[in-house]
Structure formats: C-alpha cells, structure tokens
Amino acid sequence: MAERLYRDIGEQIKEEIRAQGLKPGAKLPTERVYADQFGVSRTVVREAFIMLEIEALIEVRKGSGSYLIKVPGDGRLIKSVSEDIGPFELLQARQVLESSIAACAAEVVTKHDIQLMQDILELEEAELDSVEKSDSADREFHLLIARATQNTLLLETCTQLWDLRERSPMWKALHSRFKDTSYRGGWLDDHRAVLGHLRRRDPQGARQAMWQHLENVKVTLFALSNTEDPDFDGFLFTSLRPDATSGPL
Amino acid sequence: MAERLYRDIGEQIKEEIRAQGLKPGAKLPTERVYADQFGVSRTVVREAFIMLEIEALIEVRKGSGSYLIKVPGDGRLIKSVSEDIGPFELLQARQVLESSIAACAAEVVTKHDIQLMQDILELEEAELDSVEKSDSADREFHLLIARATQNTLLLETCTQLWDLRERSPMWKALHSRFKDTSYRGGWLDDHRAVLGHLRRRDPQGARQAMWQHLENVKVTLFALSNTEDPDFDGFLFTSLRPDATSGPL
DNA sequence: TGTGTTAAGATGTCATACCAATCCACTGCT
DNA sequence: AGCAGTGGATTGGTATGACATCTTAACACA
C-alpha cells in the first residue's frame, strides 16, 4: 500500500468504467461524485483524472464534465509501462524490433549518419573499461540507427525500449554483476559488424547482424543470471525459437 | 492558449530542467518554490508534477522531495506521443515493426490463437459494409497477432501504434473519405493470407504477407490523399524504398 | 564515538471558497 | 407554436490555509 493515493483512485475509476460497461463518448460521473463515493477529497480525484487524461483515456471539458475516450485496457493483459519487465522479455522484443529497424535504416542511411555512428563506436572503444560510459555509448549507437530511418515513430519506439531498460530494477540487479568487462569487446565487434552492413546499405546483413548481436547479449546475460529467482524470465530465452531452421530473415 | 494550466507549467518546468542542465538524480526545487516562481498555486504545480511523474521524468518522494529521473527530451527531435503524426510515417513504422512481429508470432502461435484470429476474420467479413465495425475487427486482428508472440512488450508496442492512429486528427481526416468500402475486401484477403502463413508456422511468409498488406494499405491511402495539403507526408511513401531489390526479407 | 531525540522541511491530504465555462429550463416576445 | 434571450444550476479550474506524515540532518547526551 505504499502506492500513491491518486494512482489507487485512478485504477479504481478504471475498474468502475469497465464494470459499468461505459462506451467511448460516455459522460463520467463528476469529480465531486467520485470524491464522495471513494471517501476522498476532490483534490485526489482531480489528480486521478489528470492521470487518466495523460494516459489518453478521458477528456476533461471545463464546465461540462469528463468524457470517456476509450475503455481502459485490462491492466493484467498489458503491463503498464511503469511495471517491471523481465530482462529477457525486453531483449526478445528488442531483437525482433531492432533488427527490423536496422534493416530499414540500411536502406536510407546517409553518410552523415554513418560518420556519427563511427564516432560513437570509437568512443565506445576508448571507454571500454568504464561500464557507465560504454553503456551510454551503446545506447547512443542503437538510437542513432533508429534515427537514421528518419521515422519519428521508429526512433520513439527504440527510445522507449531503452528507457524501459534503464528503469527496470531487475535489469539493474542483473547489471550489477557486470564487474567483468571482457564481454564488451565482443559486443563492440558486433556493433562494428552492424555498421559495416549499414555502410554497404545491406538491409538483410544489417538485420542479421543486429539479431546476432542481441543473441550474444542474451547468451552473456543468461550465463550471469540467477536461475533460482522466482521472477527470472530466462525461459523466454529458449522458448522463442524452438527450431533452428527459422533465422532472422 | 486554451491549454490547461498544469500542462503549461509542466512544460515550463521541463524547460527549466533543460536550461539549468540538471542531471538524472538531481533534486528539483520544491513545489512551493515553483509555485512562487511561476505565480500559481501549489495545487497547479502538484498537477504538473503528476504529469511529469506519469511521463516517467521525475520521481516524487514523500517527505524528501522530487528527483529527476531523466532529462526531458527536446520535444522537437522526438515528437511527443500526444502530437499528431503523419499517416504515412505511421504506416511505414507499422510496416517495419508489424511484419517482424508477425514473423515472430508464426514461430510460437498456438491453435487457440489461430482460432481467435479465424473468428475475428469471419466477423470482419460479416461486417464488411460497416466501416466502424470492420475497422474494429481490423485492429483486433493485428493485436491478436502481437499477443500471440506472448511478449508483453511487442503487444504493448503494437497497441501504442494503433492508439496513435485512433488519436490522429490527420488520420481521421483521411479516414473520413472512406465512403467506398470496396478496398476492404482486398484487405480481408490480405489478412487471410497472413493467417495462412501463421497457420503453417511460416515466419518468412507471415512477414512478407504482413508487409504486402500494409503496402496495399499505403497504396490505397495514397490514392485517396490530398497531395496539396502542406502537412501531407506522402513523400515518405516513396522515400523509404528507392530500389526494388530490397524486399521485406 | 556512537546513538537516540528533536526540529525543520518536504510531500500528502483535506476542506472551503470563489471563479469561469457550460448546460438547461424557463421566460417572454413575435 | 416557435424562437431568442436570460439567468440559475452544474461542473471543472484555481487559490488558500491547515494539518498529517514522512525524511533528513543537526543536535544533545551517554
């Protein structure tokens, strides 16, 4: 119950919306009504409404009322972005999405983009013994690829994936064991391979190289994982590709 | 500026954070300080803080203060999710991402998933003359594919793309011209083709079918577009694939 | 030196008041 | 009957002050 009250009330309001079967466009009870109903002040209900508004679930019209934009999803099927997500689930998603983004980037990448990536990789090599800095360069390299697609949404998607990583407690726990930096040399080689395919504007090569890179990351992390952790999601590591015939193509 | 005050203050706070070069982990000024500085009540500042908190930019610790999690993006480089995005930029992103998601789904899809998709497609066929309902079935079909991957993040990503579509004014404007529903028959055939590859657990086929489907959607939309609109982003339609040699593989 | 206490300062919640926009029913004219 | 206008009731928007609760750090004491 360490949760903030407005979040609690916000979730309860979502439940009510679902329970009452309200449809988009429907008018919600007023702030004052909810305040009475839940036994809290209007302030808290307003804060909960702001939460729903930012989540694009409702629209608030001054003097009129609040209206449902879309029915809130059942939080059990779709984890909230704020919740923690297992490292391997995240890596699997990155593998699927980023390999395609790399392929897309390979088709439209400019000399300038290539130069920027080159610079970042040199920086990464120079800072290879600093976990902090090489990690930052790592992120920057991946985001540069997404940016090279010139598609805002692909960049946004990629950014979200990395933000999620940085916020994940489970990832941090895993990351804290990374005293050994030897594996980073291998990742740098992976990065160079990806850049090579981008330079040659080879979409399939870029896709495959990126896929392999994230595969290598998974293998490294798996070796470092505590497989007895009840929250451990390493089973995702193997479950995705049951047969060897299906490659990243 | 009919904007709500808390949003305005929230953006101003973001600017201040950038201007003062605060780094993640840094302690922000207190709510009362901001209230004085901007000449508003603490209520409004609290609402702005809640906005930043939901956007995962800050963390509010009771009794201690508020702390920066990450520096807010410049808004100009990365469009906020709330901003409008051109239909073709969105479609391009969907093409890149959803085709990979389909390939991934083909490897792990279950009989039950297949059955659900089958049902949805029958529903889509039955409601083919209702733009509203067939559109809903369309969305459901695509999300079912993402869900079949059993990866929360892939489903989340796909959901976000569709939410963006429904919220986009430009898309709505384009969509309002869809009096003619004949093209929907073609899309239904596309869907069936995708489902066929999923049933055969054929990743490459599923990828290609999904790619082609969204290509068809782009072609249809392009024909219906007003190319004189200054905001028209149809140039993305052709710019992504300058050569014919690079396929969805 | 270490530890328990305390006070200052921060967010959390509440109650109230009043403002501003909207809605709606009623009025009164045509 | 139809219509425009008007004013009250409703609803969200903002401000203010009070008090609760938690955190932190300075302080006093053993």
* Lowest model confidence (mean pLDDT) among A17-26, A131-140, B193-202: A131-140
- Check pLDDT > 80 for residue B221: yes
B16 Cβ under 8 Å from any chain A Cβ: no
Q: Write out the two tokens for B193.
A: 């083709």
B1 touches strand C (CB under 7 A): no
In this prediction, what percent of chain A has a pLDDT beyond 70? 80
* Lowest model confidence (mean pLDDT) among B8-12, B40-44, B73-77: B73-77
Rounded to whole angstroms, how far apart are CA atoms B46 and B74?
Answer: 22
* Lowest model confidence (mean pLDDT) among A33-47, A90-104, A157-171: A157-171
- Tens of pLDDT, residues B75-116: 544 444 445 578 888 999 999 999 999 999 999 999 999 999
Task: Give me the mean pLDDT over the A70-74 stretch.
Answer: 76
pLDDT at residue A212 in the model: 96
Q: pTM to 2 decimals?
A: 0.72
* Cα-based angle A109, A114, A115 (whole degrees, multiple of 5): 145
**Are B154 and A93 an interchain contact pair (Cβ–Cβ within 8 Å)?**
yes
**Are B156 and A43 an interchain contact pair (Cβ–Cβ within 8 Å)?**
no
> Mutating which of B14, B100, B155, B167 best tests the A interface, going by the most A Cβ atoms within 10 A?
B100
Please state, in angstroms and as integers, the Cα–Cα distance from residue A121 to each residue in A68, A128, A129, A186, following that order. 48, 10, 14, 13
pLDDT at residue B246 in the model: 38
Please state, in angstroms and as integers, the Cα–Cα distance from residue B81 to each residue in A92, A132, A240, following that order. 24, 29, 30
- Tens of pLDDT, residues B73-83: 655 444 444 45
Torsion angle in degrees (nearest 10) through CA of B158, B160, B162, B164:
-150
- Check pLDDT > 60 for residue A238: no
pLDDT at residue A130 in the model: 78
**Who's near A143: CB < 8 A, 6+ residues apart?**
A155, A158, A159, A162
Residue given tokens 């590591």 in the structure block: A237
- d(CA B36, C1' D28) / Å: 36
Rounded to whole angstroms, how far apart are CA atoms A109 and A154?
Answer: 14
SS3 assignment, position B57: coil
* Lowest model confidence (mean pLDDT) among A45-49, B149-153, B234-238: B234-238
- d(CA B59, C1' C7) / Å: 26
Q: Which residues of B touch A7 (CB under 8 A)?
A: none
Helix (H) or strand (E) holding A63: none
A90 to chain B, minimum CA–CA distance in Å?
7
What's phi and psi for B22, nearest 5 deg? Answer: -65, 145
